[in-house]
Amino acid sequence: MSANRLSVGASPASPNLAVQEHVLRRRSIQEVPPRFLQPVENGGVRLLILENISQEAVAAFRTLGFHVDHYTTAMSEDELVEKIPSYHAIGIRSKTKITRRVIRAAPKLLAIGCFCIGTNQVDLKAAAAAGIPVFNSPFSNSRSVAELVMSELIALSRQLVERSIELRNGIWNKKSKGCWEIRGKTLGIVGYGHIGSQLSVLAESFGMRVLFHDVINIMPLGSARQVPTLSALLSEADFVTLHVPELPETTNLISAQQLREMKAGSYLINNARGKVVDIPALVDALKSGHLAGAAIDVFPQEPGSNGPGFNDQLNPWATELRNLNNVILTPHIGGSTEEAQRMIGDEVAQALSSYLGYGSTLGAVNFPEVDLRAITAEQGTQIRICHVHKNQPGVLRQINEALSPYNVEKQYSDSKGDIAYLMADIADVSRADVNKLQELIDSTDANILTRFLV
């Protein structure tokens, strides 16, 4: 597949220098400001932003001169297929699915931004094969999720949901039976990444004993202790909390067998991904009294927008789950704090803007990470080539032969799986030269996508 989706040209006197420097804060500070490359073809860069993403991120895109269409809800696959052909980038959260079909319907698409931790809602292989890097924010909401878990630990152990429901119905039921302090209890953390490790520190500050299980050996924080198997953790923990990605091997990670291995009277918390827990099996464990309670923030199928919709048509067990008083149900709000959304918006907006304007793929999850220092305003005759190609022998020779008549100021390439990415800055190139180079590179058999930033 060969494509030239967008060529861009320099804005000779950008009024948005402060925003541009903010977008480039990962780069070393330069005395001469970088030249942000503004679009001149295809009506400018068009961004489709869904799911009520941070308004600050939307404002930053617009300040940079991008055309932004912002929607507060998710879109279905059919809606995306109809809408996406005119856009160069899309920003989503967890509800919108970018499938292979959507990617095939997006001839201009250059980049995908996931304004959240996970990227399982995107077909990463199909995106990479089309020359589209995917960016996310893997760490920005870690604290928000960890704090939510701490609140759930206390709410479950003190039966706050049950007492609140009773009192709202006019029933005064002051009791201590079955209510516990979390001090001295054992918290089992499944997945000791950024969220799990932060949670570990918070839990210890409350006087809890912390065990964790992870597929790799990790240096624990504080007094936490890694256990070799999930079964060992389940059998010891008073509270089990899940912080793993959605993968084939984590689907139904907690099912009937694992629930039986948990201590009688223990609690399960899932703020990870909806398919990690077999919810019908969890309902059975709660009804039988083997588990004292649970907190669930994520579900296998979730409504695409706020309002009615969490029902049996979406998930066949929804009503049964909703009728359990000893369960805290929340609508995927683990990372939904003002602080987290602001940081996520900043990080992903920065990554998308850096790729669209400079070609940098730092932080891409499905793509080689390649970066060059920015072209400055003083280097007005330089152009940047961003060449996505199949990772096969002979490509660099072909590209360097095409560039041999020119002075290559800097060049860097890397590969990831079947995809490779090359960036090169060349000097003293006319517009006619650019057109000629475009034709030469597009004609190579390994070419996937080539952009010239001028």
- We report the CATH number of the domain holding residue 267 as 3.40.50.720
Let me know whether 253 and 319 are in one domain: yes
Give the chain's domain count: 2
Let me know whether 191 and 280 are in one domain: yes
> pLDDT by residue (tens digit) across 375-417?
876 666 788 999 999 999 999 999 999 999 999 999 999 999 9
Domain span at 15: 8-139+339-378
User: Of 102, 60, 63, 58, which is closest to residue 79 (Cα–Cα)?
Assistant: 102
**Is residue 281 situated within a structural domain?**
yes
Q: How many angstroms separate the CA atoms of 353 and 64, rounded?
A: 8
Q: How many angstroms separate the CA atoms of 205 and 388, rounded?
A: 48
**Is residue 403 situated within a structural domain?**
no
Query: How large is the average pLDDT for residues 424-440?
Result: 89
Let me know whether 274 and 351 are in one domain: no
Residue given tokens 């319907």 in the structure block: 105
> pLDDT by residue (tens digit) across 124-177?
999 999 999 999 998 899 999 999 999 999 999 999 999 999 999 999 999 999
Let me know whether 130 and 148 are in one domain: no
Let me know whether 268 and 360 are in one domain: no
Q: Give the residue numbers marked as catalytic.
A: 273, 302, 332
Q: Structure pTM?
A: 0.79
- The answer to whether the CB of 184 falls within 8 A of the CB of 351 is no
**Is residue 222 situated within a structural domain?**
yes
**Is residue 282 situated within a structural domain?**
yes
- The answer to whether the CB of 146 falls within 8 A of the CB of 202 is yes
